[in-house]
């Protein structure tokens, strides 16, 4: 079903409420616990909340269910920030409202935030302003949209489906565009420890580290953008 001018994601369900992409044959988050994975990989992996400061900007490849956004928002509120968190996400195949609702029922701990998000969600929506967060969603293939983006992020969540199943979201050129849109001393994190991903991030200017992964994943990758001379 089209969502504005974009194709809506088609999903099947595992364990009742874990969405699995039909197109990519991959779940949207870890079967071992989506929220715990987000906190380990993307929040801790970007040294958050320690690095939060006024005007902090997170950017993400793959909005999916919005879980990473919701977990970031919760952490931002809990850390007592007084300004809005900026959160920009790049998404080619947005999920339908009903699927978002089903997926987010798995996380009662953040239901108060999910409800505010779902109340605002409309097909094709590009901006959501909620208390403490300003979300922008940029639709289309990130290989085209990221290079056209004129902003920089302090932290990147690299959250495509697995590199084997969704290679478009891990292309060296795209990761180079990510690097070029990262502030000095900004960071990135991904659950992937694939050698070609680490190499591409290194070529993009990040000092790359391999750190313990979530659940059954031995390693994941973090990156620190070296200060510009």
Q: Under the rule (CB under 6 A), what is the footprint of ligand SAM? A: 9, 28-29, 60, 62-68, 90-93, 141-143, 159-161, 166, 168-169
Cβ neighbours of residue 101 closer than 8 Å, sequence gap 6 or more: 118
Q: CB of 9: closest distance to ligand SAM in angstroms?
A: 6
- Nearer Cβ to ligand SAM, position 154 or 159? 159
In the complex, least distance from residue 107 CB atom to ligand SAM, rounded to whole angstroms: 11
- 135 vs 184, beta carbon nearer ligand SAM: 135
Q: Which is nearer to ligand SAM, 64 or 179 (CB)?
A: 64
Tell me whether residue 56 or residue 107 sits nearer to ligand SAM (CB atom): 107
Nearest-approach distance from CB 227 to ligand SAM, in angstroms: 28
Least separation in angstroms between CB 55 and ligand SAM? 22
If the CB atoms of residues 142 and 189 are measured against ligand SAM, the closer one turns out to be 142
Give the position of tokens 């798995």.
Answer: 106
Minimum gap (Å) between residue 80 Cβ and ligand SAM: 24
């Amino acid at each position: 079903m089209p969502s504005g001018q974009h194709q809506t994601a088609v999903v099947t369900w595992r364990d009742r409420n874990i969405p699995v992409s039909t197109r990519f044959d991959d779940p949207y988050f870890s079967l071992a616990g989506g929220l715990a994975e987000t906190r380990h990989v993307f929040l801790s992996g970007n040294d958050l909340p320690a690095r939060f400061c006024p005007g902090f900007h997170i950017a993400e490849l793959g909005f999916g269910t919005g879980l990473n956004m919701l977990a970031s928002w919760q952490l931002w509120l809990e850390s007592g920030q007084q300004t809005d968190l900026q959160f920009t996400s790049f998404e080619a195949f947005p999920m339908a409202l009903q699927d978002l609702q089903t997926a987010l029922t798995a996380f009662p701990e953040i239901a108060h935030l999910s409800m505010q998000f779902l109340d605002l969600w409309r097909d094709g929506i590009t901006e959501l302003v909620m208390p403490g967060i300003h979300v922008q969603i940029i639709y289309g293939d990130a290989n085209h949209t990221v290079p056209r983006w004129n902003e920089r992020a302090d932290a990147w969540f690299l959250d495509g489906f697995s590199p084997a199943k969704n290679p478009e979201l891990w292309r060296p050129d795209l990761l180079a565009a990510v690097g070029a849109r990262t502030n000095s001393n900004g960071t990135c994190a991904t659950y992937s420890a694939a050698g070609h991903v680490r190499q591409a991030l290194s070529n993009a200017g990040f000092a790359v580290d391999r750190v313990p992964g979530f659940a059954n994943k031995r390693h994941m990758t973090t990156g620190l953008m070296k200060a510009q001379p």
